[in-house]
């Protein structure tokens, strides 16, 4: 009996350690491939914030158009100029015209992962990792991810350094720490799930959702929201993506916030919402698993 218990604990640890920050930190010196040196926090950018914003808007806008028949309540509160913009975009593409002609259909023509492929030229999804006992991982399921592309997002509740996260952190391998100490809890179970849903409901403005909660379920509306399952690289598996922090600007279209997989623990009008995206360090082919590196700051 004790032997079985120990074997069970050992197997859980082997899966957990790839996301356990202290273990990763202690093993950085033994694995130089996991290091990414940056001289200053402000220079920790593989691509510009403008490029990140452009990629997200491109995907989110395509998702919005694909789901256009379900956006009627949102459209009623948007300015006429915004509504006419989407109507014009729908008229440009033949498939969107076809969608307008079949308003009785309740389902989208394309699945979210298909929209991602049509928009950015690739799709990603979670599956069993190629690392032994690492649990889940994220793979390129279709197309080619070009170097510098935003390949996924790290979903979850965003905590400032001074906000309580003790109980949510117990046994939780999905807490990401940003360079400035901000934490993102990407766990879709237990207390973490309850907290995210609560904050999501709190910030909703009538029909306007300020964040996406579908990443907590098996039916994900934002196909990029799988970044919490990306495993750390190893000596045998070099990193092909890296984390990059992104603060959502005030000009972000309110109708597209429904696809943002992050929500602030405490609502603050003065502080922009922190998101973390994963950016491709090289071209990544179909069938490859994503592996991230954890950076260290060199003064």
Residue 284: pLDDT above 60?
Answer: yes
Residue 27: pLDDT above 70?
Answer: no
Residue 104: pLDDT above 50?
Answer: no
Q: List helix spans (H) across 70-122.
A: 72-75, 80-92, 94-101, 112-120
Q: How confident is the model at residue 298 (pLDDT cuts 50, 70, 90)?
A: very low
For residue range 241-279, list pLDDT tens digits in order. 999 999 999 999 999 999 999 999 998 878 899 999 999
pLDDT value of position 112: 97
For residue range 35-65, list pLDDT tens digits in order. 444 445 555 689 999 999 999 999 999 999 9
Residues 6+ apart with CB under 8 A from 272: 247, 248, 249, 250
Q: Which residue has the higher pLDDT, 103 or 151?
A: 151
pLDDT value of position 45: 86
Residue 291: pLDDT above 90?
Answer: yes
Residues 6+ apart with CB under 8 A from 79: none
Mean pLDDT score, 69-88:
89
pLDDT value of position 1: 61
Q: Are 130 and 240 within 8 A, CB to CB?
A: no
Mean pLDDT score, 217-235:
95
For residue range 157-170, list pLDDT tens digits in order. 999 999 999 999 99
Residue 24: pLDDT above 70?
Answer: no
Residue 291 corresponds to which tokens in the numbers above?
Answer: 């592996």
Give 235-239's long-range contacts (Cβ < 8 A, gap of 24+). 235/31, 235/33, 237/130, 237/131, 237/289, 237/291, 238/33, 238/291, 239/33, 239/34, 239/36, 239/281, 239/291, 239/292, 239/293
- The pLDDT mean for the chain works out to 85
Whole-angstrom CA distances from 16 to 22, 46, 52, 250 are 11, 28, 30, 37
pLDDT value of position 297: 36
Q: Are 199 and 168 within 8 A, CB to CB?
A: no
Q: Are 231 and 19 within 8 A, CB to CB?
A: yes
**Does the domain spanning 52-298 belong to CATH 3.40.50.300?**
no
Mean pLDDT score, 144-155:
98
Query: What is the pTM assigned to this prediction?
Result: 0.83
Residue 283: pLDDT above 70?
Answer: yes
Report the C-alpha gap between 265 and 272 in whole angstroms: 13
Mean pLDDT score, 67-88:
89
Report the C-alpha gap between 152 and 125 in whole angstroms: 10
Residue 234: pLDDT above 90?
Answer: no
Q: In sequence order, what are the beta bridge partners of 232?
A: 292
Residues 6+ apart with CB under 8 A from 197: 213, 216
pLDDT value of position 86: 87
Residue 20: pLDDT above 70?
Answer: no
């Amino acid at each position: 009996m004790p032997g079985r218990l120990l074997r069970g604990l050992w197997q859980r640890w082997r899966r957990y350690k790839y996301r356990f920050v202290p273990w990763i930190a202690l093993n950085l010196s033994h694995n130089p491939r996991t290091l990414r040196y940056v001289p200053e926090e402000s220079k920790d950018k593989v691509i510009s914030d403008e490029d990140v914003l452009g990629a997200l808007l491109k995907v989110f806008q395509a998702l919005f158009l694909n789901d256009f028949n379900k956006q009627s309540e949102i459209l009623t509160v948007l300015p006429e100029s915004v509504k006419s913009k989407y109507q014009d975009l729908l008229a440009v593409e033949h498939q969107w015209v076809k969608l307008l002609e079949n308003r009785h259909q309740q389902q989208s023509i394309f699945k979210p992962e298909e929209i991602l492929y049509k928009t950015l030229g690739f799709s990603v999804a979670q599956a069993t990792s190629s690392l032994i006992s690492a649990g889940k991982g994220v793979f390129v399921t279709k197309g080619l991810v070009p170097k510098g592309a935003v390949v996924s997002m790290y979903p979850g509740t965003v905590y400032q350094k001074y906000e309580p996260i003790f109980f949510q952190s117990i046994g939780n391998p999905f807490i990401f720490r940003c360079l400035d100490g901000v934490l993102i809890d990407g766990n879709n179970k237990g207390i973490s799930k309850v907290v995210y849903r609560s904050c999501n409901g709190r910030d909703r403005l009538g029909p306007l959702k300020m964040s996406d909660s579908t990443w907590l379920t098996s039916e994900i509306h934002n196909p990029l929201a799988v970044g919490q399952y990306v495993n750390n690289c190893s000596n045998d598996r070099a990193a092909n993506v890296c984390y990059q922090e992104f603060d959502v600007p005030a000009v972000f279209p309110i109708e597209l916030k429904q696809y943002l997989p992050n929500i602030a623990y405490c609502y603050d009008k003065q502080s922009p919402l922190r998101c973390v995206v994963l950016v491709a360090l090289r071209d990544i082919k179909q069938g490859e698993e994503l592996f991230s590196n954890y950076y260290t700051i060199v003064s």
